[in-house]
Amino acid sequence: MFPGGDTRSSAHYGPYPLVMDRAAGCRMWDVDGNELIDFMNNFTSLIHGHGHEDIVLAVQQQAAKGSAYAAPSMDQIELAELIVERIPSIEQMRFTSSGTEGTTMAIRCARAATGRKKIMKMEGGYHGSFELAEVSLVPFPDRRGPLNAPVSLPVDGSFPDNVLLDTIVCPYNESDMARELIARHAGEIAAVIVEPVLGSMGMIPATPEFLGALREASLAHDILLIFDEVITLRLDVGGAQTPLGITPDLTCMGKIIGGGLPVGGVGGRRDLMQWFSPQRQQPVMHASTFSGNALTMAAGLAAMRHYTAAEARRINELGDQLREGFNRAFAQAGIAAQMTGAGSLSNVQFTSEPVHDARDSLAASMSAGHIPRLLHLAMMRRGVFSAARLMYCISTPMTSREIDFAITALNESLQELRPYIERERPGLLL
Ligand SMILES: Cc1ncc(COP(=O)(O)O)c(C=O)c1O
């Protein structure tokens, strides 16, 4: 029925994905009745886990009143007000139906506003399900070129050549190289787009110095800076940009602002966002049937009202505990692995060397062979559900209990896998 057995490649894992029956709080049950703690949270989007009472109530009440009006609803306005109040870079915003559409609209706005058409993105950066957003997502070692001049690479055979030509790839966390590349391409780049934490390639935080260098260089050359905060919005009620103290021109949103329903958004400086106004001449076209639909807005507003600064701090601390516990478990088991990440976002990396970009994390996963896949299954057998690439994130129903449970499961899983690692990947032993 489904190619590969699922309807979404990112959520696929072998030999076959579990079919879920129901979920509540931070727990899920599959159709065989197995209980799992959900560290996946639909790829970081379920900030309150599953079935939060007030979100369920808001959705039920709204569903009874209609799901989509093709007209603003009061919740839509209130959710936008909350976002504008919280996120420093956002003076005006648009809702979209997905993060992909949010980044697409940010890029189109940047092109219209600057008159330039090329976009600079980071090596290993992922910004959605379209070609530009995935250029050099995986920096294949045989083709990627030198670190200071990465080659724009397709991830599959679907990429038209012009996308590769119009997308300039920048090394992540390399301030001097980024400054140099931005200066070299200054006349042709509309925007630089960057995630404050490189998500898909393993939750690798950007250094404040690197993001500061991007801000400085983009300002110096009249290029727009876009923060893709689709994942990192959860790190602070004001997004990752708030503790960093760096204000991008445009911010892409998604995931948590929909309260568990499909969502995305783009926001930023008023003069830039005005490009979307149908009242101006030659606006950037933004249609999108389900953008700002009443159901998502009701769920998102309820979710964001409950996501307070205290809750953000608490789950970030739980994330710290998870990383500490996992790192201790790997060290005790004598296995060269670590957890990278920031706040409530984490990812296992099979190396004890520092991981500061996608090349490092790709090298780690290639050297680990199929061990990460086995660890994912071993953890699942012990009731811990994560992304197959061993990405873990925290939701607000979690407490230290769930963190301790996952750490115990890791200790047991590593014991189970040790003989395989000794035999198949002795290079991973410390
Ligand atoms: C950083 C980032 N940007 C954009 C997107 C695209 O969002 P969506 O899957 O909602 O289209 C994702 C999705 O995982 C993401 O991680």
Q: Is the CB of 258 under 6 A from ligand 1?
A: no
Does residue 183 sit in the same domain as residue 320?
no
**392 has which bridge partners?**
346
Does residue 275 sit in the same domain as residue 393?
no
Does residue 266 sit in the same domain as residue 193?
yes
Q: Report whether 319 contacts 107 (CB < 8 A).
A: no
Does residue 300 sit in the same domain as residue 333?
no
Sign of CA dihedral 409, 415, 419, 423: positive
Q: Report whether 402 contacts 317 (CB < 8 A).
A: no
412 within some domain: yes
Q: Label residue 6 by pLDDT band (50, 70, 90).
A: confident
Gap from CA of 99 to ligand 1 centroid (Å): 5
56 within some domain: no
Q: Is the CB of 239 under 6 A from ligand 1?
A: no
Q: Is the CB of 100 under 6 A from ligand 1?
A: yes
Does residue 40 sit in the same domain as residue 183?
no
The overall average pLDDT reported for the chain is 97
Domain count across the chain: 2
pLDDT tens column, 174-195: 999 999 999 999 999 999 999 9
123 within some domain: yes
pLDDT tens column, 288-317: 999 999 999 999 999 999 999 999 999 999
CB proximity list for 309: less than 8 A, separation 6 or greater? 236, 237
Please report, rounded to a whole number, the percentage of residues in the chain having pLDDT higher than 70. 100
pLDDT tens column, 96-114: 999 999 999 999 999 999 9
Of 278, 306, 334, which residue is a domain's last? 306
| Ligand 1 nearest-atom number relative to CA 100 | 11
- CA–CA distance, 5 with 297 (Å, rounded to integer): 32
For the cut 90, the answer to whether the pLDDT of residue 5 exceeds it is no
pLDDT for res 110: 98
316 within some domain: yes
Please report, rounded to a whole number, the percentage of residues in the chain having pLDDT higher than 90. 98
pLDDT for res 402: 98
Does residue 38 sit in the same domain as residue 78?
no
> Going by CA atoms, what residue is nearest to atom 8 of ligand 1?
99
60 within some domain: no
Identify the CA nearest to 115 among candidates 38, 224, 215, 27.
224
pLDDT for res 187: 95
Does residue 356 sit in the same domain as residue 230?
no
Please tell me whether residue 221 adopts helix, strand or coil conformation.
Answer: coil
pLDDT for res 302: 98
- CA–CA distance, 118 with 101 (Å, rounded to integer): 18
Does residue 282 sit in the same domain as residue 147?
yes
Does residue 227 sit in the same domain as residue 352?
no
Q: Is the CB of 264 under 6 A from ligand 1?
A: yes
> Going by CA atoms, what residue is nearest to atom 2 of ligand 1?
127
Specify the higher pLDDT residue, 6 or 143.
143
pLDDT tens column, 382-430: 999 999 999 999 999 999 999 999 999 999 999 999 999 999 999 999 9
Whichever domain contains 39, its CATH number is: 3.90.1150.10
58 within some domain: no
Instruction: Report which DSSP code applies to 285.
Output: P
Q: What is the mean pLDDT of residues 9-19?
A: 91
57 within some domain: no
Q: What is the mean pLDDT of residues 153-170?
A: 97
166 has catalytic annotation: no
pLDDT for res 4: 84
For the cut 90, the answer to whether the pLDDT of residue 358 exceeds it is yes
Q: Is the CB of 199 under 6 A from ligand 1?
A: yes
- The residue length of the chain stands at 430
Residue 120 CB neighbour total at 10 angstroms: 24
96 within some domain: yes
228 has catalytic annotation: yes
Whichever domain contains 94, its CATH number is: 3.40.640.10
Q: What is the mean pLDDT of residues 257-268?
A: 98
Does residue 34 sit in the same domain as residue 70?
no
Does residue 162 sit in the same domain as residue 291?
yes
Does residue 336 sit in the same domain as residue 391?
yes
For the cut 90, the answer to whether the pLDDT of residue 161 exceeds it is yes
Of 251, 280, 306, which residue is a domain's last? 306
pLDDT for res 64: 98
CB proximity list for 14: less than 8 A, separation 6 or greater? 373
Structure tokens at 354: 């520092």
Strand pairing class (118-122; 189-194): parallel
Sign of CA dihedral 180, 185, 190, 192: negative
CB proximity list for 363: less than 8 A, separation 6 or greater? 141, 351
For the cut 90, the answer to whether the pLDDT of residue 138 exceeds it is yes
Of 276, 306, 336, which residue is a domain's last? 306
Q: Which of 43, 95, 119, 126 to mutate to test the pocket of ligand 1 (most atoms within 8 A of CB)?
A: 126
Q: What is the mean pLDDT of residues 336-344?
A: 98
Gap from CA of 338 to ligand 1 centroid (Å): 25
| Domain boundaries, position 260 | 66-306
pLDDT for res 74: 98
